[in-house]
Structure 1
Amino acid sequence: MMTERKGVENLSHLGSEDTKYTFEYDPTLLETFENNHPNRDYFVKFNCPEFTTLCPKTGQPDFGTIYISYIPDEKMVESKSLKLYLFSFRNHGGFHEDAMNVILNDLLELMDPRYIEVWGKFTPRGGISIDPYVNYGKPGTKYEDMAAQRLMYHDMYPEKIDNR
């Protein structure tokens, strides 16, 4: 049986026919709704294959896929607001590693999840690809231990790079 979704009345992006795309970094675009199942651990994963940002030095575009996985607590991020937020990096100058940390920090502040990880897999420029990974587990909980373990082993079996 489906439960009624709580906390959706304040969502301004979802269902709007007047979507505005912001080309400058804007974390205020992010919106949340209540987790209907806070008594259970489960992962929510977003795959964002069209992420773009600019090199802070050259202004050249960088393209990548961003993977965001989290175990929610009381709040969850609304997916359209996340899409608009990620789009706001389009004209933002920042190194890949910084962008992944900024995304994680903004989502931490927004939702206060039990666990979260952000992994960017960028297409090569100059013959090298950069794949920064960052995570967080709530201090003093099993999620803090989980974060340490996942960070240690996150890329033990890297994929063969033949598709980028």
Structure 2
Amino acid sequence: MTTRKPEELEGVTLLGNQGTNYLFDYAPQVLETFPNKHTNRDYFVKFNCPEFTSLCPQTGQPDFATVYISYIPNEIMVESKSLKLYLFSFRNHGDFHEDCMNIIMNDLIE
């Protein structure tokens, strides 16, 4: 039984979708959010992605990294499946992973 109203989940389209489209190029539009029901308290949300890859802009070879994301949500939260698909979209993106981390941070803050 859910405590969420259908209108709170309108922006969550990827979760439970068996026809997931995997994007191989940087795709910030894949990020989805939903309302934080617990804005009255501060708490951490953490995601770990041990298999992040982008392409080295110098060699074109995969640049591997482990990404740790931790945030205290305000009004909205990032839906985790959309975050995984978003991180996967960097697979063919040509940037050092250090640069990708700043792109990711900017996208999540927006």
Check whether TM > 0.5: yes
Sequence identity (%): 72
Residue number in structure 1 paired with 2:77:
76
Deviation >3 Å, runs of 4+: none
Greater relative CO, 1 or 2 (CA 8 Å, sep 6+): 2
Helix, strand or coil at the partner of 2:9: coil
- TM-score (norm. length: structure 2): 0.93
- TM-score (norm. length: structure 1): 0.63
Question: Unaligned stretches of 5+ in structure 1?
Answer: 110-164
Which string of whole-angstrom CA distances, capped at 9 and with x for unpartnered residues, describes residues 73-131 of structure 1? 0000000000000000000010122101000000000xxxxxxxxxxxxxxxxxxxxxx
Question: Unaligned stretches of 5+ in structure 2?
Answer: none
Residues 105-116 of structure 1: matches in 2 within 5 Å?
105-109=106-110
* Structure 2 CA distance for aligned equivalents of residues 79 and 43 of structure 1: 14
CA RMSD across the alignment: 1.4
Which string of whole-angstrom CA distances, capped at 9 and with x for unpartnered residues, describes residues 122-154 of structure 1? xxxxxxxxxxxxxxxxxxxxxxxxxxxxxxxxx
CA contact (8 A) 2:64 2:97 kept: no
Query: Which entry has the higher C-alpha Rg, 1 or 2?
Result: 1
The count of aligned residue pairs is 108
1:3 is displaced (CA, Å) by 7.2
